[in-house]
Each structure stands twice: as C-alpha cells, then as structure tokens.
A and B are shown apart, each in its own frame.
Chain A
Amino acid sequence: MSETSPPASATPATPARRFRMPDEIGVIVALVVLMIFIGVARPRFLNPLNLLTLLGHTTFLGMLAVGMVFLLAIREIDLSVGWMFNLSAVVTALLMVAGVNPWLAAFIGILFGALLGLFNGALAVILRLPAIIVTLGTYSMFQGLSLVVDNSRAVVPQDQTSSFFTFASAKIGKIMPVTGAVFLVLAIAMHYVLHRTRFGYRVQAVGSNPEAAALAGISNATVRLQTLVLMGAICGLSGALYVGFRGAIDPNEGSDFVLAVVAAVIIGGTPLSGGSGTVIGAVIGMLIIQVISSGLIFFGIDATWSTFVTGAVIVIAVSLDQLVKYQRNRRAERLKAGR
C-alpha cells in the first residue's frame, strides 16, 4: 500500500461513461404522449397560441416548483409558498402605488420574499422543527398579513407606463411571453445550481443522509436555512413579475398554489425521501398539470374535475416511483450477492 505501488489493478481501466438516459425521460414521454392524445382528439389544442397561453399559465406556479425541488431534495416541504408569492406581490404593488420606481419595487419584492423565507428558515433551524410544521403556521400568518395590508381588495398600481410593465407583459417575437422566458432561464440556472455548485451538492447530501452529512462537516442548519431563503426569494420573483404581467394582484391569488407546486415536483420525479431532485422534471410536471386542466376544458369536461385528475396523476406518479425504487433495490441486492 505504498504510494509507489501501481494502483491500476483496482482502477476501472477507462472510466466507463456509457450514455445514460436522463432521469427525466419518463415524464417527458408522458407529457408528449398526453399532448398527442389530446391533440389527435381535439386538434385545436396544438395551436401554438394555445400552447403559449399554457406556458403563460405555467410560469408563475412553475417558478415556485423550481424552488420546491430544493426543499423536497432536503426532505422538507414549504406550505407557505402561495402566500409568500401573494404577500411579495402585494408589497411590490403597494410600493408602486406609493410611487416607487416599479423596477425598484420589484427588486424590493424579491428581497421581501427572501425575508419571508428567512423567517421560515430561522424558525425551522432555531426550533429544530421540520419546515412543514413551521410553514403550516406561517401560511396563515402571511395570509393574514396580506389581508391586513391590502384590505382584502385587489391592489392595482395606477401608473402602468413604466418600462417594467411593458417588459413583463411583452412577447419575444410577438409570441413568446417574456415571463415565460424568465421562467425558463430560472429553471436552467437552478438546474445548474442543484447539480454543479457546492450548495446543490450539500442540498443533496443533507437530503440523502443528514447524519452522515453532519459528520462529513456539512452544517445541516445552514443548508436548510439557505434553501428556505432561496424558496422565499423565488416566491418574491414570481410575485413581482406577476404584478408586472397582470398589472394587479388579487387578494386571494396564490391561495391554492401549494398543492399544484408540490404535485408538479413529485410528478417530475423528485423523491419525497429526499437526496436528489430534478428541476427539469418539476417544470415538465407543472406542464403536465396545466395540459391536463386545459385538456379537460377542450374535452368539455367541467373544470372542477381537474383537481381530481391532478390528484390521480400524483398517485400514479408516486406509484411508478416506488416501483422503480423497488426494482433498483433488488438489482443492488443481486449485485451484492453475486460478489
């Protein structure tokens, strides 16, 4: 075992880097099949205009799903995302009403979202509670705060001549909404963050085995705090853009976001048991949810069914996930036994 001994014996000769199917292939296929199915039955569905409207619907919820991937990857769930989104949007809109430059107001909205995330994170870390418990409380706190500051009325900035509004509602090449582009850029950036930065590595390590991570010198508390702040900041970004896109924020906008967001992440293939996550999958998952709810309308089924169908899709997605895991475990056992 001296330094000079040739280590080649045990080293795989060339690091075998066979081409591997990306983990997201399953959901991508599911999305395509779903769209072809609806498109064959109702060709109007595949109209580019319709598809872009669909992307527009996906944008704001999709951003939250991107953040939620990080939370599920560290075995946490943030229930307060809808109200962090709403409260950040309300603060942004109120600042605009008060005459603050809309760009500055939007920036403050993002920071405000991060502050709400910091509040969640600080509580979770100091009280040593799971985020799902903490955010069960802050869900109502943020909702209450929002109702207090907007008096349960929509906030509409009067002067919408600023370049911020033109930017947020603009369309690239007359078809692609700018907000949709921001969403896609965010998703790609966050995919990179999860897989190519130390922060992303730590998120996966803590989610995979918190005890081992702590004993490898990774501070669980710091990583949890950072992740919850990131979630808040993304909610702030989504909220601020929403104000620019719609020109107003309704008092109840965001109240029903959290289930769709968590559902999208799970459908996308991020395991509830943590340790890994897929941002691309979450984006596709959110698209699947939107395609289903808009597909139902095309089939003339009452829109109220879409909640039921979304739920059924989650159940199917997690069942498939369990099946894959079961087979992977069996394979690992077999590999070991053959040794």
Chain B
Amino acid sequence: MTAADTPLVSVRHLAKRYGGVIAIADMSLDVRPGTIHAVVGENGAGKSTLMKILAGVVRPDGGEILIDGQPAELGSPVAARRHGIGIVFQELSLFPERSVLANLYVNREPGRYGIVSTRAMEDGSRDILARLGLDVDVHAPIARLSIGERQLVELARVLLERPRLLILDEPNSALNQRETERLFAILKDIATRGTTILYVSHRLEEVFSISDRITITRNGRDVSTHEIADVTIPQVIEGMIGAHQEELFPPPLPMRAGAASEFSVRGLANVHLRGIDLTARAGEVIGLAGLEGSGVSNLLAVLFGTERAKGEIRYPDGGGLPRSPTDAARRGVCLVPADRRRNGLMLDKSILFNISQVVFGAHGGPLGRYSQSVARERALRQIGKLRIKTRSPDALANELSGGNQQKVVIGKWLEIGPKVFLLDDPTRGVDVGAKREIYALIREMAADGGIVLFASTELPELTGLCDRILVLYRGRVAGELAGGAHDSRTLLHLINTGLMPPAAGRTGAAAEQAT
C-alpha cells in the first residue's frame, strides 16, 4: 500500500446513540486524499451525526477514527481542527451583530500585543472572498447579508483555516443556482489543489455532478461505497430506501364514523406559500412532502393558527383559519409538532400533567377546577389505549423513550377527539416498533372520521401510508401523486426538483419489472 493510497480519514465501526435513539449503528468509511467524497442517505440515516463526530462536536460510543492511518482522538472541535478537519455546518453558526471580518476571524484574530489588526484581516480574507464571489462590505454586520451570502461567509471562515479535510453538510441549501455553480467550481478547484472534501447532501443530481466517490447510508449503517462512474441515480435511490417493509404499514381500516366532513383550502398564500390548493375528506390520509424551506412546515403552521395567510379556507366545522393555537385546539384541530421535546412536551412534568395539556390547558375558563383524579383517569385511559410503556402516570415525560414520548403527545390530543390531525414528521427519532404503532394510530384517526395531513421526510412512510401525496416546492404545490402504490423515484425527483421526471412512466415500469 503506497502513501497515496492511505485514506486521509478512515472510520471503523462507528456507533452513536442518544438515549434510546440509535443515530449510528455501525458505520465504516474511507476517504482518500484529494477526492470529493459524497455521503448520501435519507433523513435519519446518520449522515449529520457522522459529520458531527468527525468535527469533534459529538463523541461516538464505539468504533475508531484513523487519520493518515493513525488512530486519532477527536474529543473536541479544537482537537479536530488540529488534525486539519474543518466543517461548514448545516445550521449557520455566525454572530449576526458582528462584522463579516469579525466572523471570519473569530477567536483567532490576527494582531500584536492583543490589539486586533483590521488591516491583516482585510488582507488575509480578500483573496478568498473574491474567489467566492462575495462582494460585500466586510465591516457590515452579518445580519445585513442575505442568507446565501451568510452561507458563503461561513464557508470562507472554514477555508481560511486551510483544512486538509473540508466537511460540507448541505452547503447550498440557501444558495441560488448561480451561487451554487460558483460554489461547486471552487470546491473542484480546492480539491485539485489537494484538499479532501466530504460532502453531505440529498440532492442527488448535484452529488453526481461534483463528487468522485459516493457512500450510501441507511438506518445508521453504510450500505455501500462506489466510484461515481460505476453507479446511476436510480441505483443510489434504491440503496437509500432499501427493501420495502410492507408489513410496517397496516392496511386501511373501514370507516367507523359516517359523517362526511370536508376540509378545503383555495389559494392559500403568505410570504412562504404561493397559492396552495388542497381538499381532504374525512377518513383520508394526505401526505405532505418537500425539502426544508419548501413550505410544508409553514402550511401546517398556517392551518394550526401560528402563522398568518390569506386564502379561501373551510374547515369541517364551517369556519376559516384558526386565529391562534388556542382557537385551533378549541375547534378540534390538532398539531403533533416535529420537535416533540421542545414543542410537544413539558419534559420536567409527569405524563399525567402532559396528557392534560389540551383538555385542561386550552379548554374552559381559568377558574375551572383542575381535578387530579380526572387527570389521572384520562392519563390511564391513554396509557392503556396507546400502550405507553411506563411505570406509572406520575413518571416524568423525560424518563420515556422517544416513541413513548410521541404517544403522550398524540394522547393529549386524542383526549379532545380532534377532527383535523396535522402531523409533522411524527416518527422522527422513533424506533421501528413504535413507528409501526404510530402508523396504526394514524389509520385509527382516519377510520374515526378524522382528516389527517401527514408531513414526513421519509419516503417509505409517505408511500406506504397515504392515500394521496402533495409535494411542495418553493411554496407551491409541485404535484400531487394519487393512488395507493406511489413510485418512490418519481416522488424523490418531484421533491428535489419540483418537476415530474421526464421519463417517469418508463423508469417506473422498468422498476416494477425488476422487482
């Protein structure tokens, strides 16, 4: 094995779990020096956790990391930086009130005797800013820059460290077409000069246009690694999704409630949404799909009354948009938020307290009595019905596993018998067993005459559970896929580009023959 063949970074059997949630089960990866290496996978595949471990932000529970063939301890971001690893985070980590220069040189300001030299900062950053095409006032606070410009500043900051390994996690999520092209030109340029790049994305067309090698991940494991020339986009998608687990999704139940209520939205628009049309009947499960920023979360927020929008809306009770979440809760519209720990639960309170959130919190006047025994009865009913695994209703929400926490969030709403269910990624960070139970619950909601809007980032979920899927792209409905057997490839293409694939029919037929 020659020196050139020694991987710059090797990851061996890495594992990481958060409480009861497995983020990385067993991940191995070799990154060769001077290459652009892409890591792709669905949400929850473990890509971001892997990058955070390499950046020294998160410590793994098991496995080892080799740098230049030597075992390395990446215990902190400083240690990672010493090894020449630089990372551009998905979330911006800039100081909005401080100037561009101050952000570029944070914590390593050049100067002498403790006096910072603005001149040295200007000189040192001029070249890199020019190459990135960032023509901004370097003394202006970051807050005045557009999101795209800020993302480039973030990249410039890391490039100034001259890393040997540059990690990019969805670096162009806020960049427009021209900025993205420029970014890619720069990445190719620095790669030819010897910098190794690890590139995380789920925009496959882009991955194929810039990377040399690609590693596919799924459920916290690396599925396979290929030279980019040896694979095609459909093959990569196949690897990302894996074999279909039909048994995960229970079949639809017969309708139990007769009332044919309807829910309709016409031309819903605000700054994030551009004319959304949507109708749903009682008993339907409607999927909502879209990238970050496509408007899915905004649509749910509007329908729940936390965001404003204009449009013609009719809820099953005949009213328009809820004025506030309180209004929504009183009218039987419920939201299961994506971030349940932050937005769904009071973690330091008991299950009993949490299940009372809506029924005692939103309903009735302030002087009404809060009866512990009634609250206990309600909690016991939901614990039994949803099979929440707990030692007692007095256990704190914090003590529960992710799946059981989510059941508490659902249970608090079931207590008021809602008519419209807005579910925002309800199975995020939940193990497979709990996922199956939540899917069964969604079937129950529909069978009881509920209208279910189900937003998810996991394609198998959408295709396995929904009667129809609405794909949002940049604030509008890019397409609607109807019928039970949705085609994952068409869906993924629609989500990522906002367009129906040109040869959708053909590839779909071919795939069906293959299986």
| List of A residues within 8 angstroms of B450 by Cβ | none
Closest A residue to B413 by beta carbon equals A216
Cα(A212)–Cα(B388), bound, Å:
20
A47 to B284, CA, bound (A): 75
Closest to A195 in B: B370
A and B contact pairs by CB, cutoff 8 A, 21 listed = A1-B437, A8-B384, A9-B387, A11-B380, A11-B383, A11-B384, A12-B380, A15-B380, A15-B392, A15-B393, A198-B361, A200-B370, A202-B360, A202-B361, A212-B342, A213-B346, A215-B325, A217-B326, A276-B349, A336-B401, A337-B19
Among B304, B330, B347, B363, contact of A209 (Cβ-Cβ < 8 Å):
B347
Residues of B within 8 A of A (CB): 19-20, 304, 306, 324-330, 335, 337, 342-349, 353, 356-358, 360-372, 376, 380, 383-385, 387-394, 396, 398-401, 412, 437, 440-441, 444
A-chain residues with CB within 8 Å of residue B376 when the two chains form the complex: 15
Cβ A215 vs Cβ B335 within 8 A:
yes
How far in angstroms is the closest Cβ of chain A from B388?
A: 7
Please pick, from A10, A213, A215, the residue contacting B383 in the complex, using a CB distance under 8 A.
A10
B contact residues around A337 at 8 Å (CB): 19
Q: Does A29 lie at the interface of the complex (its beta carbon under 8 Å from any beta carbon of B)?
A: no
Instruction: Give the interface of A toward B (CB within 8 A).
Output: 1, 7-12, 15-16, 195-202, 204-205, 208-209, 211-219, 226, 275-276, 332-333, 335-337, 339
Q: Is the beta-carbon distance between A199 and B366 smaller than 8 angstroms?
A: yes
Contact A1 B444 (CB under 8 A): yes
Q: Is the CB of A7 within 8 A of B387?
A: yes
Contact of A216 among B388, B389, B401, B412 (CB under 8 A): B412
User: A212 contacts B343, CB within 8 Å?
Assistant: yes
Residues of the A chain whose Cβ atoms lie less than 8 Å from the Cβ of B356:
201
How far, in Å, is B103 (CB) from chain A's closest CB? Answer: 28
What chain A residues lie within 8 Å of B353 (beta carbons)? 201, 204-205
The interface residues of chain B lying within 8 Å CB-to-CB of A7 are 384-385, 387
Q: Would you give the shortest CB distance from A124 to chain B, in whole angstroms?
A: 18
Indicate whether A212 sits within 8 Å of B437 (C-beta atoms), given known contacts A15-B393, A200-B370, A275-B348. Answer: no
In the complex, A199 Cα to B372 Cα: how many Å?
A: 14
Most buried by A among B344, B361, B392: B361
- List 12 additional A-B contacts (Cβ < 8 Å) besides A16-B391, A214-B306, A217-B363: A1-B437, A1-B444, A10-B387, A16-B392, A196-B370, A199-B366, A212-B344, A215-B306, A215-B335, A226-B366, A275-B346, A275-B349
Closest to B330 in A: A217
Q: How far is the CA of A201 from the CA of B371 in the complex (A)?
A: 10
Nearest Cβ in chain A — how far from B369, in angstroms? 6
Say whether, besides A10-B389, A208-B348, A212-B343, A336 and B360 are in contact (CB < 8 Å): no
Task: Give the residues in chain B near A195, CB-CB below 8 Å.
Answer: 370
Select from chain B the residue with minimum beta-carbon distance to A198.
Answer: B368
A16-B392, A216-B329, A218-B357 as given contacts; A201 in contact with B345, CB under 8 Å: no
CA–CA, A213 to B361, complex, Å?
8
CA distance A8 to B369 in the complex (A): 29
Write out the residue numbers on chain B whose beta carbons fall within 8 Å of the beta carbon of A204. 349, 353
- Give the nearest-CB partner of A219 in chain B: B326
Q: Is the CB of A215 within 8 A of B326?
A: no
Interface centre among A198, A205, A337 (most CB of B within 10 A): A198
Tell me the smallest distance from the CB of B49 to a CB of chain A, in Å: 19
A1: nearest residue on chain B (CB-CB)?
A: B440
Q: Which residues of B contact A9 (CB under 8 A)?
A: 387
Q: How distant is the Cα of A9 from the Cα of B383 in the complex, in angstroms?
A: 10
Instruction: In the A-B complex, list the 9 residue pairs whose CB atoms are closest, starting with the nearest.
Output: A217-B329, A217-B362, A7-B384, A208-B346, A216-B357, A199-B366, A218-B361, A10-B387, A11-B384
Bound-complex Cα distance A10 to B385 (A): 8
Chain A hits for B393, CB < 8 A: 12, 15
Query: Is there contact, CB below 8 Å, between A209 and B346?
Result: yes
Bound CA span A15–B375, Å: 13
State A211–B306 Cα separation when bound (angstroms).
Answer: 11
Once bound together, how far apart are the Cα atoms of A332 and B349, in whole Å?
12
With a 10 A CB-CB cut-off, give which of B324, B364, B388 has the most chain A CB atoms: B324
A12 and B19 CA atoms in complex are apart in Å by 24
* A1: B residues at CB distance < 8 A: 437, 440-441, 444
A198, B329: Cβ atoms closer than 8 Å: no
CA distance A7 to B411 in the complex (A): 14
Looking at the assembled complex, report how far the CB atom of A218 sits from the nearest CB atom of chain B, in whole angstroms: 4
In the complex, what residue of chain B is closest to A194 when comparing beta carbons? B370
| Complex contact A12–B391 (CB within 8 A) | yes
Closest A residue to B404 by CB, please name it. A339
Instruction: Provide the residues of chain A in CB contact with B370, threshold 8 Å.
Output: 195-198, 200-201
Q: Is the CB of A196 within 8 A of B380?
A: no
| Beta-carbon contact of B357 and A198 below 8 Å | no
CB distance from B179 to the nearest CB of A (A): 33
